[in-house]
Amino acid sequence: MTIKTDVLVIGSGIAGLFTALKISEFANVVLVTKKNKSESNTNYAQGGIASVIDPNDTFEKHVQDTLIAGAGLCDKVAVEMMVKDGPDRINDLINIGTEFTKKGDSFDLAKEGGHSMSRILHSKDLTGAEIERALIKSIEAKSNITVLENAIAIDLLTEHNQQDLKREIYKNQNCWGAYILDISNNQVLKIIAKATVLATGGLGQVYLHTTNPLIATGDGFAMAYRAGAEIGNMEFIQFHPTSFYNVKNSAEFNNHSFLISEAVRGFGGLLRTKDGEFFMHNYDERKELAPRDIVARAIDNELKKHGDDFVFLDLTHKTANEIIEHFPNIYNICLSQGIDITKDLIPVVPAAHYACGGVVVNLNAETSLKGLYACGEVTMTGVHGANRLASNSLLEALVYAFRCYESIKESFNKTVFSIPEILDWDDSGTLSYDEKVLITHTIKEIKQTMWDYVGIVRSDLRLDRATKRISNIMVETELLYKKTKVFNEIIELRNLVTCSHIIIESAKLRKESRGLHYSMDYKFSVPEDSIKNTIIKKLDQ
């Protein structure tokens, strides 16, 4: 089946929903999302969204904090744009009914690691869910937005998968939409659009331990890579220092770890070893509120030193009322696991959390492919550099979603679109695949390999091992993919292994330690000596 629309948006997190909402002001939108529309990383965001709201705060301070966390690799112009546009975009969220927690008449601004001021707007500890709620309610009221749930994008429509238009070397590529699998009936749709927006979020599921839900299989990075788009700085994977250690081995946390928000440390939470020793003063003068890369490495080091499985986060010096008032969700979830955070120490471990790199976009959210725009976690905008500052992700997604809208609007005003004949999905000669257990096992292998060799601490030897293992899996997966009728799990497996490959290749290019990329073989270089962005681009099929 073929669907024609003005704009195809892929993804229903903050980036996709906000883009769709804005674009509906001037064009028709089809939004596809691979599960139900609220399932996204956004929906799990806890701490909040950073912006300069306090009269004592300044844009310069927020810019400076972002640049410091980014360890010399941020694009200052992009950072300034994000920070300055922040308050207007926050107002957009408020205007559609997002309710941020207040203290009296003012917003209750929280503090998190790396921030010199309290500037995090939040809705208790369920900020992402509140933003999703407001955005979904708004798009449901728009008659020119069609939402297709359980619809997973397989590949972008560009010259690379149109036989007659195929080019030997990827250049001046155009994007005209995407092939989408309707999971409910296993039919592949061809959605043709004048503009396509990639808003597919992150890739935490590449790793064994992650805060990201099951949807975060890096589909957007992999699709853009296959289509020949530029992908940058993928070595910078952020590991959140404090995810809940699954003491009871509860099934609900087998696929992703429950986050204990950084706001808990901002609120005064202290880290201790299993023996009860405080340790952050040994690593950084900002102690628990140092940027995440420093805190995660410190915990990793303490775990290795003591042979422990977790460290503790301690809130017991705070009153029970304060704790429950600020963190009702964290309190309830921990209680369900037998930990009363008002009295007990919380067992925590680092987990893969966020991809700082991604599909390279300019200030207008344009990728290197004509007609393909991107926003949110799937992108590399330059605002995070080598390490993202806490709560800058939701802000970046919002600001760049708005940029997408402005760019597409401008392009619609000045472009006469001419879209060539697009081939139907061709699965002739393929067979149905019923040994899903092999796919599950291969995914486990990928996750373990990436955790062991491409995790918080890396080395040339570890990256070499990862290269060999992931290359084998990639060849096997590609063979399987080519002879199999497409289905959800194989799409995700293919994307997970592709993302692993890109992360490893990017890590190998960076012959230094910087921000989130720490290699035992290279020293941390000073910001001025930084190796610039690592760019990976597929040159042939």
Residues involved in catalysis = 292
What is the closest distance, in whole angstroms, from the C-beta atom of residue 516 to ligand SIN in the complex? 13
Q: Which of 345, 365, 394, 404 binds ligand FAD (CB under 6 A)?
A: 394
34 touches which of ligand FAD, ligand SIN, none (CB within 5 to 8 A by kind)?
Answer: ligand FAD
Give the pair of three-digit tokens for residue 538: 């597929």
Residue 263 in contact with residue 120, Cβ under 8 Å?
yes
377 binds ligand FAD (CB under 6 A): yes
Q: Would you count residue 212 as binding ligand SIN (CB under 6 A)?
A: no
Quick one: 298 or 443, whose CB is closer to ligand SIN? 298
Residue 464, SS3?
helix
Residue 390 or 466: the one with the smaller Cβ distance to ligand FAD is 390
Q: Does 391 engage in binding with ligand SIN (CB under 6 A)?
A: yes
Residue 192 interaction partner, one of ligand FAD, ligand SIN, none, beta carbon < 5-8 Å per kind:
none
Q: Which two tokens stand for residue 270?
A: 């202290």
Q: Report the 3 state secondary structure along 466-523.
A: HHHHHHHHHHHHHHHHHHECCCHHHHHHHHHHHHHHHHHHHHHHCCCEECCECECCCC
3-state helix/strand/coil string of 153-222 = EEEEEEHHHCHHHCCCCCCCCEEEEEEEEECCCCEEEEEEEEEEEECCCCCHHHCCCECCCCCCCCHHHH
Tell whether residue 128 is a contact of ligand SIN (CB under 6 A): no
The two tokens of residue 438 are 């092999």
Where is 135: in which H helix or E strand?
A: helix 127-140
Cβ-based nearer residue to ligand SIN, 374 or 390: 390
Determine the Cα–Cα distance for residues 420 and 401; give it in Å rounded to an integer: 27
> Exactly one of 5, 42, 381, 449 binds ligand FAD (CB under 6 A); which one?
42
Both tokens assigned to 372:
């393909």
Residue 477 token pair = 């997966």
Total residues interacting with ligand SIN, rule: CB under 6 A: 8
Least Å distance, CB 212 to ligand FAD, is 5
Binding mask 4-23 for ligand FAD (x = CB under 6 A): ------xxxxxxx-------
Candidate list 4, 28, 35, 422; residue touching ligand FAD; CB under 6 A:
35
Stretch that binds ligand FAD, among 33-41, 268-276, 303-311, 328-336 (CB under 6 A): 33-41
- Of the candidates 31, 191, 263, 456, which one interacts with ligand SIN according to CB under 6 A? 263
Three-state DSSP class for residue 433: coil
Give the footprint of ligand FAD on residues 338-357 (CB under 6 A): 354
Binding of ligand FAD by 41 (CB under 6 A): yes
Q: Minimum CB separation from ligand FAD for residue 148, in Å? A: 9
120: left (phi over 0), alpha (psi -120 to 50) or beta: beta
Site membership for ligand SIN, residue 299 (CB under 6 A): no
Residue nearer to ligand SIN on the CB measure, 49 or 345: 49
Show Cβ contacts of residue 421 under 8 Å, excluding neighbours closer than 6 positions.
none
Residue with smallest beta-carbon separation from ligand SIN: 47
Closest alpha carbon to 287 in 254, 313, 325: 313
- Residues between 233 and 272 that touch ligand FAD (CB under 6 A): 259
387 touches ligand SIN by CB under 6 A:
no
End-to-end CA distance of the chain: give it in Å, rounded.
Answer: 26
x/- site string to ligand SIN, residues 434 to 473, per CB under 6 A? Answer: ----------------------------------------
- State the DSSP string of 314-339: E-TTS-HHHHHHH-HHHHHHHHHTT-
- Contacting residues toward ligand SIN, per CB under 6 A: 46-47, 261-263, 390-391, 393
